[in-house]
Chains A and B, each alone.
Chain A
Amino acid sequence: MKSIRTMALLGVGVTALAATAPALSQDQVILRLLPYHTDAMVENYNPNNPTGPQQRMRDFAYEPLWIDNIWHPGENEEALAVSWEIGEDLKSITYKLREGVKWSDGEDFNADDVVFSYEYAKAHPDYPMGIDVFNGETGNVTGAEKIDDYTVRFTLNEPDALARYGLNGLYPLPEHVWKDVEDPKNFANLDVVATGPWTKPANFSRNGHDLCRNELSRYNDENAIDCLRFPQMNGNEQTVAALSAGDLDWLGDGLTDPDVTFLPQSEFNNYWLPAGSDVNLQLNTTRAPFDNLEFRKAMSVAIDRDTLLEIATFGLTTETKYPIGTGEMYNTWYDPEALEPYTWLMQYDPDKAMELLDAAGFVDADNDGWRDNPDGTPIAFGISMPSGWTDWVNTGQTVAENLQDIGINASLKTMDQGAWFDAAPRGDFDVYVMWTNSGPTPYNQYSPMFNPRLMVEGQIDFQAMHQMQIPEVEAALDVFKGSADEATQRAALTDIHKAVAENLPVISLFANPVWYEYSTRRFTGWVTEEDQRFRPQVHDGTRERVWHALSLKPIEGAQF
C-alpha cells in the first residue's frame, strides 16, 4: 500500500508541474480554424491534395484567378485576375491579370505562371488542379495563350458560356518553383511560395500547424491576423467542445440540438445555418417499380416533409418548395409561375398517394399486406444509408415509415460508410438519400445529374444515380451553356425545371443547412444573419473564406 501512496503523490506532483507549463509565445494574433477533420496532421502543403492540405492552403496561401461572390454576384470579386472577357463565339476567355503582385519569395507574378499552370495540368492528368483540360474524350479547355505579360487567353473546344466559372477557380502555381517538380501528387511542398495573405508554415506537429503572415502580400496592411492555426481534431463532440473552451474560433461541423447542446456551453458560442443545397432521394429508375412515373409521384406525395424538417433533422433544415431537385440556394433563378402546377407533389397527402398507386395498378395482388408491381411481382426495397449519419438515418426511417403507411414495403438499409460510398458507382442500390452539388449556377447541379457519361455502370456519379436520360434536359443544358444572355439562360433553366418536375427522376426532400459556427471570444467582424456579405463557410470550395478571415478584427484585451 505504501508504494501506491508514493505513486499517487508522484502523479499529483507531476500533474501540478504540467499545469504550469508555459505555452508557445503568444503575442501574435492567431485565428484558430478547422476546415476538415483528421486524425493526425501531415506535413504537406500541396494546394491540390484533396485529402486535407488543399483545405488549408487554398484561398489562404494560394489565390485563385477570381473569387465568385455567390450571394452577391458582381461585388468585389477580383483576385489574381482583375477582369475577364468571353469571346464572341463563346470559345475563348481572356483574363487580364493583376499587376504588381509578387510571390512570397520576391519573384513577380505574371502570365507565364498562368500559362505554365495550364500546361502543367495537361502534363499531369492525375494531379487534380481543377482545370477541365481537354484530353481527347472529356474536358473543354484546349489551350492557354500568353497575349502579353498580364493577359492570358484560354481557348475551348466547344462553346461554353459557363467555362469561366471553372477557370475562375484556377489557383496558379509559381512557374519558377514547380517547373522542377516531377511528381506533383507526392510532392509535399514544404517551402510554400504563394501570393496570399498567409504563406509561412510554422510550428508543425501531429497536433496541427500554423500558417503565418506573408509580408509581401498586397493584403498585408489590412491583415490583422498574424497566423492561422489549423489544429488536428476529429469527431463532432470534440470540435464543438473545443469551440466552447476557446480552442477554436471558426468551425463548420454538423450540430445536434444546438440550442440545448451548443449555445449554453459558452456565452461566445454562435451559429448560423443559411440554406444550402438540396437533399434528394435518388431512385434507381432502371429497376421496377421506380421505372413507373406514377409510382414516383406517389412516393413524393406520401412523404411527410414537415416531420422530416422538424424532427428527423432537428429543425435545422429548410423546406424546398418545388420538386425540381434543387433548393432555396438558387431561388433567384426560379420562375414561380411556371412551377406552380407542380407544388402539389411536395404536399403530404397519403390518400392521394394511395389513389395514384391504385390507379396505376400497384395493388396487393398476393394479399401479404404489401403492394405489388402491376405484373404481380412483390415490391420490397431498402433506402441505403451510411450508419453514422444520424440526421440522414432519421430521415430515411421517417421516409420508410411514410411509405409503409401507404402499403409499400420500404425499409432502411444501413451500412458502413465505406460500403455506402462504394455501392453507388456500381449501381448496386434501390434508393439513396443524396446531397446535391453546390456551385455558382444551377448548371453545376443539373449537369452532372443528367450527363449520360456519368450513368455508366462502374462510374456512376452520385448525382446521376437515378440513371434517367432526359434529352430535353440535355438540350436545355447545352442552350444554357451556349449562351451568354441571361434571359436565354433563365428560359433554358425553366425548361429544365419543368422536365424534372414532370419526370421526377429524383424526389426533393429538404435543403441542407450550411454549417457555420463561430466564437466571439477573440474576434469581431463575423458574417451573421443580419450581415450577409458573403458565404461564411470555413471549408475549401468557398473561395470567399479568405475575405471572411481578412475582415476579422481582434477584440481589445483578448488572450491569444
Chain B
Amino acid sequence: MIFLARRLVFYFAAFFLAITFNFLIPRLMPGDPSDRIIASFQGRLNEAQVAAIRQSYGLDGSLWEQYLDYVGSVFRLDFGISTVQFPEPTASLLFYGATWTLVLVGLSIALAFVIGSMMGIRAAWNRGGFFDSFFTPINVMMNAFTPAIVALVLFYAFSLQLRWFPLGRAHDPNLMAGFDLQFIGSVLYHATLPVLSIFLVSFGGWHLGMRNVMINLLNDDFVILARAKGLSDNRVKYRYVARNAILPQITSLALSVGYMLGGALVTEQVFNYPGLGKFTFTAIQSRDYSFIQGQLLLLTTAVLIANLLSDIANVILDPRLRKG
C-alpha cells in the first residue's frame, strides 16, 4: 500500500506541474486572443471598448492573480468559453471530442494489445519456427510506418476509390445517439478504417514485447516443473507463463496511452473523426487558448489516471508489491 501511496503523491505533484505549465503556455505563445477580436472590428472601437474587451479575456491583473484564478477554475471544472465556437463552453466541446477519441484510441489499443500479445505468445512458444521468424520481423517493421501515410492510403483506397467505407465522421449523421444496436453498429462501421490505421502501426510493439518477456520466462524452473508434471501446453502457456509476462506489459500499456492520444491526431484529421486531436489542431491555429489549455489538461489527467490504474492493476496482480 505504501507503493500506491507514493505513486498517488507523485501523481498529484505531476498534476500541479501540468496545471502550471498549461497556464504558462498560451502566455508564451506569440499573439494574444484579444488582439484578434479587436482587429475584427476594423477600427470601429474606441479606447474604452478596447479596454473592456481586454478585460473580459482575463488578461488584466498580475500574473500571480491570473494563475490563482486559473487553478480555481480548473477545480471548478470551468474551462472557459471557446473563442472559435463562441459562446459555446469549452468543457462541452472538450468532452465531446474526448469521448470519440476514447472510442477510437480505446478500440485501437484493445485490439493491438490483444492481437499483438496473442501473436507474441505464439511466437515465443514456437520460437524459431515459421510463425516466429516470419511474423516477428514483419510486425515490428510495420511499427516503423508513418501513421499519416497509412491513414492516407487507407482513406484513398477504401473510402475514396472503392467506397467500401464512409468518408469520415464518427457515425451516420442521420442516427441519433443512443445505446441501441443500430447506433453502435454505425459507430463501429465508421471507426473501422481509423482504428485499422492506428492498429497497424502499433500492434507490432506489443507482439515484440510479449515475445521477449515470455522467452525470458520460459527458461525458469517452474515451467520445466509444470511440463514435467504433465500439464497441457495451453495451460502452461496461458495460466503460468503469460500471466507473469503480462505484468510488465501492463505498465507499458499505461505509458502508451499518452502516446496514443497524441498520435491519433493525424488519423483524426484524415478521417474527419471528431476527436480531441482534430479539435486541438484547429484550436492551435485559431489561438483558442481556453481550448488548448483544457485539452492539454485533459490529456495529462487521462494519462495520469491510466498510470494510476495500471499501478493498481500491478498491485492486484503482483503479490510482491502488496507487502510494502
- The yes or no verdict on A and B being binding partners is yes
Q: Is B150 an interface residue (CB 8 A)?
A: no
User: Contact at A138–B44, with CB atoms within 8 Å?
Assistant: yes
User: Contact at B88–A44, with CB atoms within 8 Å?
Assistant: yes
A241 to B169: give the CA distance in the assembly, Å: 13
User: Contact at B85–A51, with CB atoms within 8 Å?
Assistant: yes
State which residues 388-428 of A face B: CB under 8 Å: 388, 416-419, 421-426
Closest B residue, CB atoms, query A448 = B42
Closest B residue, CB atoms, query A42 = B88
Q: Is B194 an interface residue (CB 8 A)?
A: no
Q: Is A23 an interface residue (CB 8 A)?
A: yes
Contact flag A421-B85 (CB < 8 Å), given A18-B186, A24-B174, A139-B44: no
Closest B residue, CB atoms, query A265 = B160
Instruction: Point out the residues of chain A lying under 8 angstroms from B284, CB to CB.
Output: 416, 418
* Interface size class of chain A, counting residues whose CB lies under 8 Å from the partner chain: 35 or more
User: Contact at A4–B118, with CB atoms within 8 Å?
Assistant: yes
Task: From the candidates B86, B118, B159, name the one contacting A49 in the complex (CB within 8 A).
Answer: B86
Instruction: Point out the residues of chain B lying under 8 angstroms from A4, CB to CB.
Output: 115, 118
User: Contact at B38–A459, with CB atoms within 8 Å?
Assistant: yes
Instruction: Point out the residues of chain A lying under 8 angstroms from B159, CB to CB.
Output: 241
Instruction: Point out the residues of chain B lying under 8 angstroms from A242, CB to CB.
Output: 167
Instruction: Point out the residues of chain A lying under 8 angstroms from B309, CB to CB.
Output: none
Q: Is B232 an interface residue (CB 8 A)?
A: no
Instruction: Point out the residues of chain A lying under 8 angstroms from B31, CB to CB.
Output: 418-419, 421-423
Task: From the candidates A18, A234, A422, name the one contacting B189 in the complex (CB within 8 A).
Answer: A18
User: Contact at B30–A419, with CB atoms within 8 Å?
Assistant: yes
Shortest B81–chain A CB gap in Å is: 8
Q: Is A186 an interface residue (CB 8 A)?
A: yes
Instruction: Point out the residues of chain A lying under 8 angstroms from B83, CB to CB.
Output: 51
Q: Is B199 an interface residue (CB 8 A)?
A: no
Q: Is A245 an interface residue (CB 8 A)?
A: yes
A34 to B20: give the CA distance in the assembly, Å: 40
User: Contact at B46–A135, with CB atoms within 8 Å?
Assistant: yes
User: Contact at A21–B175, with CB atoms within 8 Å?
Assistant: yes
User: Contact at A205–B177, with CB atoms within 8 Å?
Assistant: yes
Q: Is B168 an interface residue (CB 8 A)?
A: yes
Q: Is A233 an interface residue (CB 8 A)?
A: yes
Instruction: Point out the residues of chain A lying under 8 angstroms from B52, CB to CB.
Output: 126
User: Contact at B32–A21, with CB atoms within 8 Å?
Assistant: no
User: Contact at A21–B43, with CB atoms within 8 Å?
Assistant: no
Closest A residue, CB atoms, query B283 = A39
Closest A residue, CB atoms, query B38 = A459
User: Contact at B35–A14, with CB atoms within 8 Å?
Assistant: no
Q: Is A125 an interface residue (CB 8 A)?
A: yes
User: Contact at B85–A42, with CB atoms within 8 Å?
Assistant: yes
User: Contact at B167–A459, with CB atoms within 8 Å?
Assistant: no
Q: Is B133 an interface residue (CB 8 A)?
A: no
Closest B residue, CB atoms, query A38 = B85
User: Contact at B168–A238, with CB atoms within 8 Å?
Assistant: yes
User: Contact at A416–B285, with CB atoms within 8 Å?
Assistant: yes
Q: Is B269 an interface residue (CB 8 A)?
A: yes
A24 to B44: give the CA distance in the assembly, Å: 46
Closest B residue, CB atoms, query A50 = B40
Closest B residue, CB atoms, query A187 = B87
A377 to B81: give the CA distance in the assembly, Å: 48
Closest A residue, CB atoms, query B272 = A238
Q: Mark A153-172, 1 if CB is under 8 A from B, else 0.
A: 00000000000000000000
Closest A residue, CB atoms, query B165 = A15
Q: Is A176 an interface residue (CB 8 A)?
A: no
A441 to B86: give the CA distance in the assembly, Å: 31
Contact flag A17-B185 (CB < 8 Å), given A4-B115, A418-B285, A425-B35: yes
Q: Is B84 an interface residue (CB 8 A)?
A: yes
Contact flag A241-B86 (CB < 8 Å), given A4-B118, A15-B185: no
Q: Is B207 an interface residue (CB 8 A)?
A: no
User: Contact at B173–A205, with CB atoms within 8 Å?
Assistant: yes
Shortest A135–chain B CB gap in Å is: 6
Instruction: Point out the residues of chain B lying under 8 angstroms from A418, CB to CB.
Output: 29, 31, 284-287
User: Contact at A245–B167, with CB atoms within 8 Å?
Assistant: yes
Instruction: Point out the residues of chain B lying under 8 angstroms from A52, CB to CB.
Output: 85
Task: From the candidates B49, B172, B279, name the one contacting A21 in the complex (CB within 8 A).
Answer: B172
Q: Mark B37-81, 1 if CB is under 8 A from A, else 0.
A: 011111111110100110000000000000000000000000000
Shortest A38–chain B CB gap in Å is: 7
Instruction: Point out the residues of chain B lying under 8 angstroms from A426, CB to CB.
Output: 35
A21 to B47: give the CA distance in the assembly, Å: 57
Q: Is B182 an interface residue (CB 8 A)?
A: yes
A461 to B30: give the CA distance in the assembly, Å: 18
State which residues 102-149 of A face B: CB under 8 Å: 125-126, 128, 132, 135-139
A38 to B93: give the CA distance in the assembly, Å: 12
User: Contact at A39–B282, with CB atoms within 8 Å?
Assistant: yes
A50 to B36: give the CA distance in the assembly, Å: 13
User: Contact at A126–B182, with CB atoms within 8 Å?
Assistant: no
State which residues 216-240 of A face B: CB under 8 Å: 231-235, 238
Q: Is A260 an interface residue (CB 8 A)?
A: no
Q: Is B211 an interface residue (CB 8 A)?
A: no
User: Contact at B278–A39, with CB atoms within 8 Å?
Assistant: yes
User: Contact at A234–B43, with CB atoms within 8 Å?
Assistant: no
Among the interface residues B32, B177, B272, B274, which one has the most CB atoms of the partner chain A within 10 A?
B272
State which residues 219-269 of B face A: CB under 8 Å: 269
User: Contact at A205–B176, with CB atoms within 8 Å?
Assistant: yes
User: Contact at B93–A40, with CB atoms within 8 Å?
Assistant: yes
Shortest A32–chain B CB gap in Å is: 11
User: Contact at B87–A185, with CB atoms within 8 Å?
Assistant: yes
Q: Is B91 an interface residue (CB 8 A)?
A: no
Shortest A525–chain B CB gap in Å is: 26
A299 to B56: give the CA distance in the assembly, Å: 44
Contact flag A208-B44 (CB < 8 Å), given A49-B86, A422-B35: no
Q: Is A558 an interface residue (CB 8 A)?
A: no
State which residues 476-500 of A face B: CB under 8 Å: none
User: Contact at B39–A459, with CB atoms within 8 Å?
Assistant: yes
Q: Is A1 an interface residue (CB 8 A)?
A: yes
Q: Is A451 an interface residue (CB 8 A)?
A: yes
A-B contact pairs, 5 of them (CB 8 A): A125-B49, A128-B40, A207-B169, A234-B278, A242-B167
> What 6 A-B pairs have minimum CB-CB distances, sorted nearest first?
A422-B31, A18-B185, A207-B173, A23-B174, A18-B189, A17-B185
What 14 additional pairs, Cβ within 8 angstroms, besides A39-B282, A40-B97, A136-B46?
A: A15-B185, A18-B186, A21-B186, A49-B86, A51-B85, A128-B41, A138-B44, A206-B274, A238-B168, A418-B285, A422-B31, A422-B36, A459-B43, A461-B43
B interface vs A, CB < 8 Å? 29-32, 35-36, 38-47, 49, 52-53, 83-88, 93, 96-97, 115, 118, 159-160, 163, 167-169, 172-177, 181-182, 184-186, 188-189, 192, 269, 272, 274, 278-279, 282, 284-287
